[in-house]
């Protein structure tokens, strides 16, 4: 499995990202797909000799893990700012739509990120540079590289620059409420209707506070809280939808 050896135009990419890296190796690592990592195709002894001679370039998996968390923090904050009156369930739906694989792939495509990703020759020949899963992972890895090199403000500035225009599309029409979306998700897969259960009710009668759990089939439940049963159910449904989409991606 030979690697695509084309030279990465890091100067151009740094300009597009709006940040000059103090440690360019972080950006390089964020663009190495596992298929292009030569250490994966060598014997254990060969990898040990190589590591002793010089540290090898890692693929982007570790950075993608970090970037997922950084991106989540920035997007959640962004949504809370833009929709100050929205319930948690609605925020969860909007969040889920923005950070799902398809959305991140479009984000990466707007940067032309596929042209910078190091892939094995076979992976590139099979269209790997345009695969949503690869683009989404690389996008999160680049966010992590920005965070580790320049701090949260640098990563946040980059994410906001590309995410804020997308929020206008959401403003044109709010997404379906979380309970409806969860019911449609279950129906599309032949599953029974989601089951909601009041876990607790606290506070005086004129100002109650409910905790509600929702479960699909025999799966693990998610809970939500609110000043009414409906509000608590909406939040619980939003949390479960976010978990289901995360598991699917």
In 3D, which of 200, 195, 199 has the Cα closest to residue 182? 195
Alpha-carbon distances, residue 141 vs 98, 152, 225 (angstroms)? 16, 14, 33
Length of the chain: 249
What's the start-to-end Cα distance of the chain, in Å? Answer: 26
Torsions phi, psi of 100, nearest 5? -70, 165
Residue with tokens 């000799």: 49
| Options 59, 90, 140, 235, the catalytic residue | 140
Element (H, E) at 161: helix 152-171
Sign of CA dihedral 75, 80, 82, 87: positive
> How far apart, in whole angstroms, are the C-alpha atoms of residue 60 and residue 137?
8
- Catalytic (active site) residue 68: yes
- Catalytic (active site) residue 29: no
- In the three-class reduction of DSSP (H, G, I as helix; E, B as strand; rest coil), residue 113 is classed as helix
Alpha-carbon distances, residue 238 vs 93, 180, 182 (angstroms)? 6, 10, 8
Element (H, E) at 198: strand 195-202
| Options 59, 68, 123, 149, the catalytic residue | 68
> How far apart, in whole angstroms, are the C-alpha atoms of residue 138 and residue 60?
7
> How far apart, in whole angstroms, are the C-alpha atoms of residue 23 and residue 7?
18
Catalogue the active-site residues. Answer: 68, 140
């Amino acid at each position: 499995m030979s690697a695509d050896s084309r030279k990465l135009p890091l100067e151009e990419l740094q300009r597009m990202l709006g940040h000059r890296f103090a440690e360019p190796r972080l950006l390089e690592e964020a663009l190495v797909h596992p298929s292009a990592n030569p250490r994966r195709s060598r014997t254990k002894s060969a990898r040990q000799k190589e590591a002793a001679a010089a540290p090898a370039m890692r693929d982007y998996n570790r950075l993608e893990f970090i970037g997922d968390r950084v991106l989540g923090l920035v997007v959640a904050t962004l949504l809370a700012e833009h929709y100050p009156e929205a319930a948690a369930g609605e925020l969860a739906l909007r969040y889920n739509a923005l950070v799902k694989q398809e959305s991140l792939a479009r984000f990466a495509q707007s940067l032309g990120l596929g042209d910078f990703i190091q892939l094995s020759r076979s992976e590139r020949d099979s269209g790997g540079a345009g695969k949503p899963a690869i683009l989404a992972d690389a996008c999160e890895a680049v966010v992590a590289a920005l965070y580790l090199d320049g701090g949260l403000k640098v990563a946040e500035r980059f994410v906001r620059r590309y995410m804020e225009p997308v929020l206008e599309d959401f403003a044109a029409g709010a997404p379906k409420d979380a309970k409806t979306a969860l019911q449609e998700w279950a129906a599309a897969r032949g599953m029974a209707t989601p089951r909601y259960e009041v876990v607790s009710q606290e506070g005086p009668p004129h100002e109650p506070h409910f905790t509600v759990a929702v479960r699909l089939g025999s799966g693990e439940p998610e809970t939500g809280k609110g000043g009414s049963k409906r509000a608590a159910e909406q939040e619980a449904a939003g949390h479960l939808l976010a978990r289901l989409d995360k598991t699917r991606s």
